[in-house]
Structure 1
Amino acid sequence: MASSVLEHDAPPGVPRLKGRGTPWRERFFRLSLWTSLAVGVIFLAGLLIYVVYEAWPRLDSRIWTNFPDIIDPTNAGAQSAIMGTIWVIAFTALYCLPTGILAAIYLEEYADPERWWNKLIEINIQNLAAVPSIVYGILGLGVISRGLGFGQTVLTASLTLSLLVLPIVIIASREAIRAVPQSIRQASLALGATQWQTIRLQVLPAAVPGMATGSILALSRAIGEAAPLLLLGGLTFITFNPTGVQSQFTVLPIQIFNWISQSRAEFVSLASAAIVILLVILLAMNSLAIWLRNRYARRW
């Protein structure tokens, strides 16, 4: 009878038999999870501390006001790389966000899932999300840069990165739209609104937090890509800022790669300072995503 008596300290609604503790397999599994988490956090913290320590002598205004200089690294900066990153990511957002959101609206609200072409689109989106970034670089080099004749410019880099993150934007936007309860749509249609009015006035405002969060996280991935841009001619030494979509460019990941491959110790501090700048930009974008999610999230 003792084995059938419930413990007094059991959580509400969760019955637990007296005299029977947590199985050793479950304790071992939890310990493994905590150990894995601790190892990852410790290595990440150590890496961040090392980068900040190396970057500290160069974390001043020179890093964003001066241009690269391979002769005198003490006065070199990363202004052209910072501005190139801003140009490329801005046009990437301009190209991929409207396309991805409209594609998500079509697939969730209008597309018939039984049609073969809609099934083909679904499969391709899922597959493209897992394609390595270097493949998109080869595609951008062969089709956009050479095939369309855009050359090694900001436009080519933006279109290539747009293709890279477009599946992520579509998937995140679809999940956000799918999370809106069907009762909202049914109530709007019952009051006489058209399908487009229901989507524009009811569904999209409710899905904005999820779509904004997914879109910003997708752009955060694009801002750290170096492999496709190396194929597209992202130059490692540029002493001017882009002036348009037809300008040559460099970005922070490529500039960091160039500095870290130099033999002189001064370039290590420069590369570390550029890494800190890139991390600040990424953290700012991720913080914006978290703020938008918490500010506009709705609980149904």
Structure 2
Amino acid sequence: MPRGVQLSDQELEYARLLKRRHLISSGFEWGCRIATFSALLFLGILLLGVVWQAWGWLDTQYLTSFDSRRPKAAGLLAGLWGTFWLILFTAIFTVPIGVGAAIYLEEYARDSWFTRVIKVNLANLAGVPSIVYGMLGVTAFVRMFGWFSAVDDLRIETYLGFGTLAIPLPLGRCLLAGSCTLSLLILPIVIIASQEALRAVPPSIRHASYALGATKWQTIRHQVLPAATPGISTGIILSLSRAMGETAPLIMIGALTYLAFAPGNLNTPMDGIRDPQLILDAPFDMFTSIPIQIFNWVGQPKSEFQHVAAAGSLVLLVLLVLFNATAIVIRNRAQKRITW
């Protein structure tokens, strides 16, 4: 300000107000920066701690060996195979039902009180604690509401040409019951994510398709779903990532904390090629998963098991990062194909 220039009281008040607003804005900006860097710092410290504890314990022997009472011989192979089968069957059960339900609610269902009740309850179910789904899984899948308690060793057997598929009733504490339970857990999340992706497609896309004479199914199949694929696939993969890290529902239905074999004794992919019957037996066998093995090792009295658990945690983190990276790649590639 040039010397000798006198400001009126109103101008001085405005200058003070402007200075105060700049101070508040700057303070808020620095507060956000501190919060961001603090979160990154804490995450970095935790990650470095896990890597430090796992250093020297994570090797090929660890990834190709089963669990053991001796820390040096303990491995994660049973948990890796169990997690693979769990996520595979969870995806098979969840994706068609979740995406189909979202398409019906967004594209076909009328805006009635019943539809609104369903949507509200889906949001509520997405926030239910996972242990509740574990209790539901015990009742619905492990015991099947006691419908078959009076019958001993009831099985539905079907010959498929390369082996016999034998489904026990009730399912009992097997891998398939765990997958069904995890499917219930993430199904509301998949439906909500798919609904949001379908809702984000501009109405003009639908109107243009109808104007060209396309049916509703053709519009959904060739216009709406391709446009919504990035959001749907991202929601599905993130939901499966959550299922991969769950422990409580699996412990509820009877997943084992110590297991020295893979489901169906399918220890390598070549075992399934040599004997396809092992693939058919795997869903109905006992199982464990990576989070459950970590939970078991953390509770062991020997201090060496803390390093074994840290190595398992690092493997789980890498798998989750790969899942999330896959979601980003799929989303970006799908978005490049969309031309409006």
Give yes or no for TM over 0.5.
yes
Per-residue deviation at 1:134? 0.8
Counterpart-to-counterpart distance in 1, 2:15 and 2:215: 59
In structure 2, the residue matched to 1:13 is none
Partner of 1:151: 172
CA distance in 2, matches of 1:179, 1:172: 11
Within a 5 Å distance, the mapping from 1:1-300 to structure 2 comes to 20-21=18-19, 22-70=21-69, 72-114=70-112, 116-147=113-144, 149-243=170-264, 244-297=282-335, 298=338
Percent of pairs with identical residues: 49
| SS in structure 2 at match of 1:245 | helix
Tell me what 1:9 maps to. none
Q: Tell me the SS of whatever aligns to 2:110.
A: coil
CA drift of 1:30 comes to 2.4
Which shifted more, 136-145 or 88-97? Answer: 136-145
TM-superposition CA deviations, 1:169-225 (whole Å, max 9, x none): 011111111111111111111111100010001110111111000100011011001
1:27–1:98 Cα change, 3 Å: same
Distance (whole Å) between structure 2 residues aligned to residue 34 and residue 138 of structure 1: 42
* SS of structure 2 residue aligned to 1:34: helix
**What SS does structure 1 have at the residue aligned with 2:143?**
helix
How many Å separate the matches in 2 of 1:274 and 1:134? 23
SS at match of 1:31: helix
Structure 2 spans left out of the alignment, 5+ residues: 1-6, 9-13, 146-169, 265-281
Contact 1:259 1:268 in 2 (8 A): yes
Structure 1 gap segments, 5+ residues each: 4-16
CA distance in 1, matches of 2:90, 2:234: 16
AA of the residue aligned to 2:50: V
The one-letter code sitting in structure 2 at the alignment partner of 1:58 is W
CA positional deviation for 1:18: 8.3
Q: 1:299 to 1:191 in 2, by over 3 A?
A: closer
Question: Is the 1:63–1:274 contact (alpha carbons within 8 Å) kept by the matching residues of 2?
Answer: no
- Residues 215-245 of structure 1, C-alpha deviation per residue, up to 9 Å, x if partnerless? 0001101100111111111101111111221
Show CA shifts across 1:234-276 (max 9, x none).
1011111112211110000000000011121221111111111
User: Is the 1:140–1:160 Cα contact (8 Å) retained in structure 2?
Assistant: yes
Matched to 1:119, the amino acid is R
Q: Distance in 2 between matches of 1:30 and 1:69?
A: 52
Partners of 2:126 and 2:67 lie apart in 1 by 35
Deviation (angstroms), 1:299: 7.5
Task: Determine the C-alpha separation between the residues in 2 that align with 1:89 and 1:208.
Answer: 20
Give per-residue Cα distances to partners, 1:105-158, cap 9 Å, x unaligned.
0011001012x3212211211110110111111111122211252111111111
Distance 1:126 1:299, change over 3 A: farther
Deviation at 1:26, TM superposition (A): 2.8
**RMSD across aligned C-alpha pairs, in angstroms?**
1.9
Letter of the structure 2 residue corresponding to residue 206 of structure 1: A
Q: How many residues align?
A: 285
**How far did residue 46 of structure 1 move?**
0.4
Question: What is the letter of the counterpart of residue 24 of structure 2?
Answer: R
TM-score with structure 1 length normalisation? 0.91
